[in-house]
Chains A and B, each alone.
Chain A
Amino acid sequence: MRALLDKIYLGAGYLAGFFMVLILLSILTGIAGRLFGIDTPGMDAYAGYSMAASSFLALAYTLRRGEHIRVTLILQQLGPRGRYALELFAHAAAVCLSFALAWFSVRLVWQSYVFNDVSQGLDATPLWIPQIGMAVGAVLLLIAFVQGLVELLITRRTVEGREVTAPIE
C-alpha cells in the first residue's frame, strides 16, 4: 500500500516536471511567434495553466520528500511526548485543511464545467480542463496527509518520514 502510494506521488511528480517543461515551451513559442510574425494567441494563458498543474501535481511528492517548509522551532524545544502531541495536531490540522482544498478544488472543476466557464483571455479555454490538474493535485495532497496521519499514529513517523523523536534538521 505504502509503496504503491509513493509510486503514485512520484508519478504525479514526473507529470509536474512535464508541465514545467510545458511552461517553458509555451513561452518560447510566444517569443518565436513574435520573432517570425506568426500569431500564437493564448500562449501566456497556457504557460499559466501549466504552472498551476505543475505546482499542484507536485504537492504530495514534495511533501513526502520533506521539502514543504514549516516552523519547527517549538517542536525542537519539546520532549518526546510533547513533540508527538504537537505533531498529531499539525498532521490533523493539515488533513482538515487539505480536505477543504481538495473538496473545493474538485467542486471548482465541476462548477466550471456546469456553468461552461471559459477563459477571458485569447485562448478561450473551457476552464474546467486546466483546473483538473489542481483538483488531482489537491486530492493527492489530501491522501498523502491522511496516510501521514495514519503512519504517525502507527509508526510514530511524520509524513516526511522522520522519527518523531529524531533531531530536526
Chain B
Amino acid sequence: MDVGAAIVLVVLVFVLLGAGVWIGLALMGVAWIGMELFSPRPVGDAMAVTIWGASSSWTLTALPLFVWMGEILFRTRLSEDMFNGLAPWLERIPGRLLHTNILGCTLFAAVSGSSAATCATIGKMTLPELAKRGYPESMAIGTLAGAGTLGLLIPPSIIMIVYGVTASVSIAQLFIAGVIPGLVIAGMFMAYTIVWSLLHPDAIPRPERRLTLIEKLKASRHLFPVVALILAVLGSIYTGIATATEAAALGVVGALLVAASQGVLSWRTFVESLLGATRLYCMIALILAGAAFLTLAMGYIGLPRHLAEWIHGLGLSPLALMLALMVFYIVLGCFLDGISVVVLTMGVVLPTVQAAGIDLIWFGVFLVLVVEMAQITPPVGFNLFVLQGMTGKEITWIARHAAPLFVLLIAAVLLIYYFPGLVTWLPRQMM
C-alpha cells in the first residue's frame, strides 16, 4: 500500500510536470490526487487554509523584499562600478580580469539573493568588457556561470529563506552559515582560473597600463556603494540588530538610495523594478503555495515518516547517505529549477535527515550547494538560460565550459562534509 502510494505519487509528479503544467499548479494537483486516494480527510478546505497560511507567513516576507532589492540594483550602474573598482587590482594575478567575474559575483552575491540575478547583473558588464579586451570567451562565460551560483550561497539567499521557512530553521543563522563556504568556493574558483591561465599563458591578453597605488585606491571608491549595502544588510543580521526580514527592508531602502545617488531613480525605473519584483515573486509564490499543500498531503499520507524509517533501516553511513542525496539532487536539478527541487523534496527528505542526526543548518548549506549545481546543469539550469539570453550560445556549450566549476562545487560538498566547522562555526559566534 505504502510503496503503491509512493509509486503513484512519483508517476503523477512526472506526468504533470512533464506535460508542461505550471509547476506550482502541478504540485497542487499531485497533492490533491494523493490526498483523495490515500487519506480520508476532506481536501479542498485543507488546501485553502494551508495555502493561505504559507502565503501570508511573515517569516517569508524577507523573500519578496530581497527579490525587489535585486530588481532595483539590476537597474543601477552597480555592475559598472564594481568592474571599475575591481579591475585595477587584478592585473597581476594570472587570469587577470577573468577574476572580475568571480570577485564581482562574490561581492554582488552579498546583496543579491538569486543566482540568475547575480549572473545577469555582473555579466551585463564583464562579458562585453572581457570580450572587448580579447579574453577567451569560454573562460569568461564559464567562470561567470559558475560564480553566479554564489548568489545562492552567500547571503542574502532566496533559497535559504525557502529552506529556513520549510524546515523551521533560523534564517539569520542560515545566512551567516553560508558566508565562509561562499568565500571558500570563490577562492576555489579563483584558484582554478589561475591554474588554467598558467597552463594557457597565450590565451590571456597582456595587462593594460599599470596604475599607481593611489590611482588604484581612487578607482576603488566605486566599490563604496556595494560595500555599504553589504554592511547594512549582513552587518545588521550578524550583529543581531535586525531579523532577516528587517535587513531585507533596509536593503530595499539602501538599493533605492544607491539608485538615487547615481541619478537613475526615476518614477519609471521605480515602477519597472516594482513590477519586475512583483512578477518574479509571484512566480516563486505559486510554487511555494503548491509545495505547502503537497507537504501537507504527504504528511497525511505518512510517506515522509515511512521513507525515513526505511532509509534508517538500511543503516547507511552518513557519508553514503550524503552522497546518495547529492546524486539524487543533481539528477533532479537537471530537470527542475532550484526552488522547485527544494520545496518538492523537503517534506519527504527532512524527516530522514533529522533521523540521521544531521544538523539542519549544515544540511541547509549542503542543499544550497547542490541547488547551485542545478543552476548550471543542462537541460534546465537558470544560469544557463540567463547566459544563453545574454550571449546567444547553446546551452550545452555554456554547460561544458561551466563543467569544471561544477566539479569544484562537488569538491566543496566533500569539503564541508569533512570540515563541518566551515559551516557551523560562524553562526555560533553570533549574539
- On A, residues with C-beta under 8 Å from B are 13-14, 16-17, 20-21, 23-24, 27-28, 30-31, 44-45, 47-49, 51-52, 54-56, 58-59, 61-63, 65, 67-75, 86-87, 89-90, 93-94, 96-98, 100-101, 103-105, 107-108, 111, 130-131, 134, 169
Report whether B281 and A55 are in contact in the complex, using a CB–CB cutoff of 8 Å. yes
Stretch among B48-56, B86-94, B138-146, B195-203 lining the A interface = B48-56
Residue interface mask B72-93, A partner, CB < 8 A = 1 = 0000000000000000000000
Stretch among B19-27, B186-194, B219-227, B360-368 lining the A interface = B19-27
Q: B interface, by DSSP: helix, strand, loop or mixed?
A: helix
With a CB–CB cut-off of 8 A, which chain A residues contact B20?
A: 70-72, 74-75, 86-87, 90
With an 8 A cutoff between CB atoms, is B65 at the interface? yes
- Which residue of B26, B271, B282 contacts A16 across the interface (Cβ within 8 Å)? B282
A13-B275, A23-B64 are known contacts. Are A45 and B23 too (CB-CB below 8 A)? no
Report whether B249 and A27 are in contact in the complex, using a CB–CB cutoff of 8 Å. yes
B-side interface size class: 35 or more
- Which residue of B21, B47, B60, B283 contacts A51 across the interface (Cβ within 8 Å)? B60
Report whether A17 and B274 are in contact in the complex, using a CB–CB cutoff of 8 Å. yes
Chain B CB count within 10 A is highest, among A31, A98, A101, A105, for A101
With an 8 A cutoff between CB atoms, is B328 at the interface? no
Known: A73-B380, A100-B47. 15 other contacts (CB 8 A): A20-B277, A44-B245, A47-B58, A55-B286, A55-B289, A58-B278, A61-B282, A67-B283, A69-B340, A70-B21, A71-B20, A97-B32, A101-B25, A101-B51, A104-B44
A/B interface sample: 18 pairs, CB < 8 A:
A13-B275, A23-B61, A27-B65, A31-B246, A52-B52, A58-B279, A62-B283, A67-B280, A70-B20, A70-B21, A71-B18, A72-B20, A73-B379, A74-B18, A86-B19, A90-B20, A93-B29, A104-B44
Report whether A61 and B279 are in contact in the complex, using a CB–CB cutoff of 8 Å. yes
* CA distance in complex: A113, B353 (Å): 41
- On B, residues with C-beta under 8 Å from A are 16-26, 28-29, 32, 44-45, 47-49, 51-52, 55-58, 60-61, 64-65, 68, 242, 245-246, 248-250, 252-253, 271, 274-275, 277-283, 285-287, 289, 335-337, 340, 379-380, 385, 389
Report whether A16 and B21 are in contact in the complex, using a CB–CB cutoff of 8 Å. no
With a CB–CB cut-off of 8 A, which chain B residues contact A68?
A: 22-24, 282-283, 286
Report whether A47 and B25 are in contact in the complex, using a CB–CB cutoff of 8 Å. no
* CA distance in complex: A24, B51 (Å): 22
> Which residue on A lies nearest to B287, using beta carbons?
A69
* CA distance in complex: A105, B50 (Å): 11
Report whether B18 and A93 are in contact in the complex, using a CB–CB cutoff of 8 Å. no
User: Which 5 A-B residue pairings sit nearest by Cβ, starting from the closest?
Assistant: A55-B285, A58-B282, A52-B56, A104-B48, A27-B249
* CA distance in complex: A105, B282 (Å): 17
- Which residue of A24, A54, A62 contacts B249 across the interface (Cβ within 8 Å)? A24
* CA distance in complex: A87, B68 (Å): 32
* CA distance in complex: A86, B21 (Å): 9
Report whether A17 and B271 are in contact in the complex, using a CB–CB cutoff of 8 Å. yes
Q: A interface, by DSSP: helix, strand, loop or mixed?
A: helix
Report whether A17 and B275 are in contact in the complex, using a CB–CB cutoff of 8 Å. yes
* CA distance in complex: A134, B60 (Å): 16
- Which residue of B16, B45, B277 contacts A93 across the interface (Cβ within 8 Å)? B16
CB distance from A161 to the nearest CB of B (A): 15
CB distance from B33 to the nearest CB of A (A): 10
Chain B CB count within 10 A is highest, among A30, A71, A107, A134, for A71
A71-B20, A97-B32, A98-B25 are known contacts. Are A45 and B282 too (CB-CB below 8 A)? no
A71-B17, A71-B335, A86-B19 are known contacts. Are A27 and B61 too (CB-CB below 8 A)? yes
With a CB–CB cut-off of 8 A, which chain B residues contact A14?
A: 275
Report whether B61 and A47 are in contact in the complex, using a CB–CB cutoff of 8 Å. yes
> Which residue on B lies nearest to A28, using beta carbons?
B249
Report whether A31 and B44 are in contact in the complex, using a CB–CB cutoff of 8 Å. no
> Which residue on A lies nearest to B281, using beta carbons?
A55
Report whether A70 and B23 are in contact in the complex, using a CB–CB cutoff of 8 Å. yes
A70-B23, A71-B336, A74-B19 are known contacts. Are A107 and B55 too (CB-CB below 8 A)? no
* CA distance in complex: A131, B369 (Å): 36
Report whether B58 and A45 are in contact in the complex, using a CB–CB cutoff of 8 Å. yes
Report whether B65 and A55 are in contact in the complex, using a CB–CB cutoff of 8 Å. no
CB distance from A9 to the nearest CB of B (A): 11
A31-B246, A74-B18 are known contacts. Are A67 and B55 too (CB-CB below 8 A)? no
Chain A CB count within 10 A is highest, among B56, B280, B283, B380, for B56
* CA distance in complex: A103, B45 (Å): 10
Chain B CB count within 10 A is highest, among A24, A56, A111, for A24
With a CB–CB cut-off of 8 A, which chain B residues contact A52?
A: 52, 55-56
A59-B286, A73-B380 are known contacts. Are A23 and B65 too (CB-CB below 8 A)? yes
With a CB–CB cut-off of 8 A, which chain B residues contact A94?
A: 21-22, 25
With a CB–CB cut-off of 8 A, which chain A residues contact B49?
A: 108
CB distance from B99 to the nearest CB of A (A): 31
Report whether B25 and A13 are in contact in the complex, using a CB–CB cutoff of 8 Å. no
With a CB–CB cut-off of 8 A, which chain A residues contact B281?
A: 20, 54-55, 58
* CA distance in complex: A148, B244 (Å): 39
With a CB–CB cut-off of 8 A, which chain B residues contact A55?
A: 55, 64, 281-282, 285-286, 289
- Which residue of B16, B48, B249, B283 contacts A107 across the interface (Cβ within 8 Å)? B48
With a CB–CB cut-off of 8 A, which chain A residues contact B379?
A: 73
With a CB–CB cut-off of 8 A, which chain B residues contact A93?
A: 16, 19, 21, 25-26, 29
